[in-house]
Amino acid sequence: MKDIADKTGFSVNTVSLALRGSPRIPEDTALRIRNAARDLNYMPNQVAKSLVSRETKTIGLVLTDITNPALTQAAQSIELALAERGYSTLFATSNNDLDEEKRVIAMFQSRQVDGMLIYPRSHRDLGHIRQLRQANYPVVLLVADPDAGVDAVSVDERRGAYRAVRHLIDIGHTRIGIIDSSNPMGNHEKRDGYMTALKEAGILPDPSLSADPQGHSVIRGYWAMDKLMRLGNRPSAIFAANDSLAIGALRWTQKNGMSVPDDVAIVGFDNIEFAEHAATPLTSVNYEIKLITDLAVARLIELIGAKDALPEPNVTLIDPELIVRESTYRRP
């Protein structure tokens, strides 16, 4: 700004006011200053500004898996919603590793982001995130248990899984397999919904019908399906924790000459674009990702505005719906 002041003959204070759009500066003066700033390739020093305002206008977004289509869509929606509010987004991925999640959160803190949006690896091992909240640091989870003790906006995963499995029961299935993590420190909401639907229908859960894919990708779903379908008394239907796993299960049936849904029905979760356009369109649990991300961003901005007196944590669960397609529905 001193260079601009020297070039135009105005004071540094006048230059500063003009570049901030102050109405105190006459338009012809402001125009001369802006032209000089352009000629000198002037860029505001955001670090210096943040020292004064105590805001960096940046938000940290922690994802578990950047290759997950649902998370990729959510990340895009979050970036757009934050940009509309004048914020930039910094991205980091934990790759489903708790230590890495802690590291990237600490990295964002060191960069003094104004707040964080987090997809946690575990819905239960949240101590490090609760510490942020207890220190009045603005943070919102994008998946969570209602008792997380941290602000969260999420689809109701228990309800979604329950509806998926209840649908399979209603069309006549009793041996229903599940492809989902069985890690004790993992995320149990979908498995809880699966178990609730079985018990409500009087179906005794069979542990052999559970396959831990050890990941979330298509190939992991393929091999989890292989394990289930090699059972002596194999399942007649499968509930997969996400659509990528379900597509892997569907691919296994194609490779092994089985018909969907005549030989085995398959339900996924997330209703990604590929679910509708799979070789056999997948029945899937659907929810509006943009609604979740918009509510999460709005809550985070509210927390940032509260400064050092954050309100009590609030958890919002969005009710999902089931989209029924050919993978479970036999056309007449």
- Mean pLDDT score, 121-132: 87
Residue 52 pLDDT greater than 60, yes or no = no
Question: Which residues touch 208 (CB under 8 Å, ≥6 apart)?
Answer: 231
- Which band of pLDDT confidence, cut at 50, 70 and 90, is reported for residue 327? very high
Cis peptide before 261 (omega within 30 of 0): yes
- Mean pLDDT score, 303-310: 86
Residue 121: which of 146, 143, 154 has the closest Cα? 143
Q: What b/e string do you get for 165-192 counting C-beta neighbours within 10 Å, with b at 16 or more? A: bbbbbeeebebbbbbbbeeeebbbbbbe
For residue 141, the surrounding DSSP H or E stretch is strand 139-141
Residue 186 pLDDT greater than 70, yes or no = no
Q: Chain-wide mean pLDDT for the chain? A: 90
Task: Give per-residue pLDDT as tens, 199-209.
Answer: 999 999 999 99
- Which band of pLDDT confidence, cut at 50, 70 and 90, is reported for residue 44? low
**Token pair belonging to 302:** 């509210």
Residue 146 pLDDT greater than 80, yes or no = no
Half-sphere exposure of 54 (CA within 13 A, CB side): 4
Q: What are phi and psi of 174, to 5 degrees?
A: -125, -25
* Residues linked to residue 286 through DSSP beta bridges, in sequence order: 321
Tell me what pLDDT residue 50 has.
Answer: 47
**Token pair belonging to 173:** 């299935």
Tell me what pLDDT residue 53 has.
Answer: 45
Residue 124 pLDDT greater than 50, yes or no = yes
Residue 110 pLDDT greater than 50, yes or no = yes
Residue by residue, DSSP assigns 152-184 as EEEE-HHHHHHHHHHHHHHTT---EEEES---T
Tell me what pLDDT residue 159 has.
Answer: 96
**Token pair belonging to 217:** 């990708």
Residue by residue, DSSP assigns 60-124 as EEEES-TT-HHHHHHHHHHHHHHHHTT-EEEEEE-TT-HHHHHHHHHHHHHTT-SEEEE--S-SS
Residue 51 pLDDT greater than 70, yes or no = no
- Mean pLDDT score, 136-153: 87
Q: Among 98-112, 139-153, 188-202, 238-252, whose mean pLDDT is lowest? A: 139-153
Q: Among 45-49, 82-86, 208-212, whose mean pLDDT is lowest? A: 45-49
Residue 7 pLDDT greater than 60, yes or no = yes
